[in-house]
Amino acid sequence: MPFTNFDYRYYQDYTLMQLSRQIILRGIGISLFLSFNILIRAQEMWGITTSNFAGSNGVLINPTAIVTSKLYLDINLATADFFFQNNYAYIHKEDRSLFKYLSRNPQFPSYGEDDMPFDHFRGKNNITVYSSQLLKGPSFMLTRGRHAFALHTGARVLSSGFSVPYHVANFGYYGLDYTPQHNIEYNDDNVTAAALVTGEIGITYAYSFRKFSMDDWSAGITVRRYFSLSGGYMNASNVNYIVVNDSTINIKNMDAEFGYSLPMNYDNNDFPYEPWIKGGGFSADIGVTYQSKLLSYQKKRITRLCSQRYVDYIYKIGISVIDLGFVNFTNNAQLHDYDNVSQYWINVDTLSYDNMNQIMGVFSQVFYNDPDESLKDDRIRVHLPTAISIQGDYKVHRNWYAGGVFIYPVRLGKAYIHRPAQIALVPRYETPYLEFSLPVSLYEWHYPRVGFSLRYHFLTIGTDDLAGLFGLSDFTGLDFYVSVKVNFRKGQCGRTNRHIPCENDEYGIRKRP
């Protein structure tokens, strides 16, 4: 049946942009909403994860961090991290003040004829969006000699859009009636978006498998179990289309998948929709670290955990694979597939719907002449933001260190969270009771950022984007983290043991030339 004969009796007063948003965002929309409204593993938290006092938080970039730590016991009470970044929408720096928006009646700016709450950059190529939040609950680590263990609990909200064409973002900003983009053929490949809302528990084990002279090698692994509340994705291998006018679009080809599992009833929009847990999965982090120590290793027996000593390094180098895994959704899940379909779609501005199943049925009817044809499966899989990470650290002088981290994303499936590529240099001053750092990073190869973090005893606060947080640059995102924990240093056994020497009993007094 050609589309021009489609029955519109129940579909009126609906714009194309709203319609396209529903296809993409309804699958991930609730997850995206939560990611902006719940402060609940986020970005890298350079001021925390690169520290020798990071404890269990150090495993976020390499699981060996717990065995190379200056701590033998670390109890994390709570760590929270909020991160959002995009390269399309922004608020002008002169219109933004952090403290103004925290007032009782904040006044937000508006832009353009439609009084949009944000402006947008002109002339961009592909658009990238990444949002990641972490609430790390009660967790701990324990080190005994060459062995270290850690237990983690927490929750994560992750969402990303990658390789989104600039003209698609423009239609979203201006609407379908944006005439400068009419009657132009667009041909886009490999456009992806995905989101996850999930709780997690995990365990880490690390082992110093070789200690010889001043060389120290360690390996570690973290395994996590996920309990996910919702998730979804969109993957468009190819979309070839022309927007003819504000009511007609010529879709020459569409090869795309839409999958979602949401806490809502798709027939009547009831929310929330039980069971609460919609999916589950596993992930693993694997890492290896080499340290060149200041003193030569000598084997000694450990009598008490607190009597373990820490010997600093000249430098250390680590490599890891992080977030290697996925979440499977088997409850309330739908996978819709449009395999190289086409349609000359008129009167798209007159469509509406009452629930999720209805709108997906409309699309299936349009492209397949069958409201159920697009539904291919009742389960979906979303891959975590897998990445390869390389870390390095050098002791400059006494308590001064200079670290560096490289992170590169790895795609393992159609549906995946795209982790941004980053290079970071992290100079820091580090003592047991006071630490501060000034991370300098390059985000997605194009965007330089400067951060700051401060740790005083049990409390750490920081940001990896100082200018964005305080309104010193145009607001394209937000980065902020805080951590509260209790830790116990190696070699510190209390007042009755102050005679214990500062260096590790496992090491001799011979120093490297």
* pLDDT given for residue 484 in this prediction: 97
Q: pLDDT digits over 208-243, tens only?
A: 999 999 999 999 999 999 999 999 999 999 999 999
Chain centre distance of CA 228 = 15
Closest by Cα among 344, 66, 410, 380 to 194: 380
Q: Compute the average pLDDT of residues 304-321.
A: 94
pLDDT-based confidence at 507, cuts 50/70/90? very low
Q: Is 282 helix (H, G, I), strand (E, B) or coil?
A: strand
Report whether pLDDT(513) > 70.
no
Q: Tens digit of pLDDT for each residue in 47-65?
A: 999 999 999 999 999 999 9
Per the prediction, the chain carries an average pLDDT of: 86
Q: Which fold has domain 3-88+124-511?
A: Porin (2.40.160)
Over residues 158-170, the mean pLDDT reads 92
Query: Considering the entire predicted model, what is its pTM?
Result: 0.86
pLDDT at position 100, please?
A: 64
Q: Give the pLDDT confidence of 87-101 residue by residue, as tens digits.
A: 999 989 888 766 666
Reduce the DSSP state of residue 208 to 3 states and report it.
Answer: strand
Give per-residue pLDDT as tens, 106-155.
Answer: 677 888 888 888 899 987 778 999 999 999 999 999 999 999 999 999 99
Per-residue pLDDT at 28 = 33
151, 183, 154: which is closest to 167 by C-alpha? 183
- Where b means 16+ CB within 10 Å and e means fewer, 336-366 reads bbbeebebebbebbebbbeebbebbbbbbbb
pLDDT score recorded for residue 468: 79
CA distance 425 to 35: 28
pLDDT band at residue 43 under the 50/70/90 scheme: low
The residue-averaged pLDDT of 174-200 equals 94
Contacts of 170 (CB under 8 A, 6+ apart): 120, 178, 181
DSSP 380-449: EEEE---EEEEEEEEEEETTEEEEEEEEEE---SSSB--PPPEEEEEEEEE-SSEEEE--EEEETTTEEE
Average pLDDT score over residue span 484-490: 94
Q: Is pLDDT above 60 for 482?
A: yes
pLDDT in tens, 427-481: 999 999 999 999 999 999 988 999 999 999 999 999 998 887 777 888 888 899 9
Predicted confidence (pLDDT) at residue 78 exceeds the cutoff of 70 = yes
pLDDT at 10: 34
Domain boundaries, the chain: 3-88+124-511
For the residues 165-183, what does the mean pLDDT come to? Answer: 91
pLDDT, position 29 = 35
